[in-house]
Amino acid sequence: MKAGFFRQHGGPDVMEYGDLPDTVPGPGEVLVRVRAAALNRVDKWVRDGWPGLKLQLPHILGSDGAGDVAAGGAQVKPGDRVVINTSLGCGQCEFCAAGHDNWCARWQLLGETIAGTDAEYVSVPERQLLALPEHVSFENAAAAALVFQTAWHSLITRGQIRPGETVLIVGAAGGVNSAAIQIAKLAGCTVYVVGSDQRKLALAEALGADALVDRTQEDWGKRVYQLTQRRGVDVVVDNVGAPTLMASLRAARKGGRILTVGNTAGPKFELDNRYMFARHLSLIGSTMSTRAEFATVMGLVFAGRLKPVVDTTFALPEIRAAHERLERGDVLGKIVLTV
């Protein structure tokens, strides 16, 4: 089968396109003919590699995918249109049994430690497939799958956002944040967005943000504090990390919640503990969602109430160019691969 892959870790130039052996579905798995995949930040991390990461090489990246069933399972038949839920619970551990499959003891992400969607075919457990309506394009489904489930679980399940609350989103343009803005609006919140350039802030506004704050201003956390009549916001969504976290803490009200699902600026940061206890703050992490939540949030995407933002679309043979675009970091929404 044709695939995008790498044989050694490194920058975008290690990405190749060519023939790899066909994937063979295991027990309980379905063979999907991929029609669209999408890039995520995890692709860069895996491609770059980290100490201790052991992959079978060549490795196929890709955590998002939509396509049609090539060889059927128990519930699906060849030709069925599907979108893939990349968050792989084992289905057997205590957390999976309780419906918390994103807490799975043997959790895996498609494309991270196992072969992903940047290929003509991918084998996935049948329970990871969701029927894709005719009117939703494969590209939009692939662009939505990872980021919308991530933002949904963070804001709705972990963050417990409520109508009338104020939500500050740090960063305007990434896939998760463009999803978070829409989910917070859908939940009836007032949404403030902090962004680093006008193009990104314009996108945030188009997605429904109520107020925009320019991150290049000095001490934007204080600025948000002023905007809220010195009360602070109920919830801060901070997926940036080191450069922004302290300002995020300052922007929150007493008893506020700080939500994080990642770190676009690196994983480690200093934290002034005085803000945490004196202001009764909760720092709430999560990753991905349960399968039930995936069905819920994708249903809202299918209904047009949540809209994936597509930055650019490349054909799979252009996977190196797609990675170069991801690397440059001025991306508005998702980079999609057509297969």
Closest approach of Zn ion to the CB of residue 284, in Å: 22
104 near Zn ion, judged by CB under 5 A:
yes
Segment near Zn ion (CB under 5 A); pick from 83-91, 283-291, 312-320, 322-330: 83-91
- In angstroms, the Cα distances linking 221 to 213, 233, 250 are 9, 10, 6
93 near Zn ion, judged by CB under 5 A:
yes
71 near Zn ion, judged by CB under 5 A:
no
| Contact pick of 1, 90, 202, 276 for Zn ion (by CB under 5 A) | 90
Closest approach of Zn ion to the CB of residue 91, in Å: 6
Contacts of 103-107 spanning 24+ positions with Cβ under 8 A:
none
**Nearer residue to Zn ion within complex by CB, 127 or 257:** 127
Segment near Zn ion (CB under 5 A); pick from 44-52, 87-95, 196-204, 280-288: 87-95
Segment near Zn ion (CB under 5 A); pick from 85-93, 118-126, 231-239, 283-291: 85-93
CA distance 55 to 138: 28
Segment near Zn ion (CB under 5 A); pick from 42-50, 60-68, 104-112, 290-298: 104-112
**Nearer residue to Zn ion within complex by CB, 16 or 126:** 126
CA distance 339 to 334: 16
**Nearer residue to Zn ion within complex by CB, 60 or 96:** 96
Closest approach of Zn ion to the CB of residue 106, in Å: 5
CA distance 334 to 312: 7
| Contact pick of 67, 89, 125, 171 for Zn ion (by CB under 5 A) | 89
96 near Zn ion, judged by CB under 5 A:
yes
**Nearer residue to Zn ion within complex by CB, 71 or 90:** 90
Segment near Zn ion (CB under 5 A); pick from 32-40, 47-55, 96-104, 313-321: 96-104
Segment near Zn ion (CB under 5 A); pick from 43-51, 97-105, 207-215, 242-250: 97-105
Closest approach of Zn ion to the CB of residue 97, in Å: 8
Closest approach of Zn ion to the CB of residue 288, in Å: 13
Region for 135 from its dihedrals, namely left if φ exceeds 0, alpha if ψ lies in -120 to 50, beta otherwise = alpha
**Nearer residue to Zn ion within complex by CB, 66 or 124:** 124
The residues of the shown chain that bind Zn ion, judged by CB under 5 A, are 89-90, 93, 96, 104
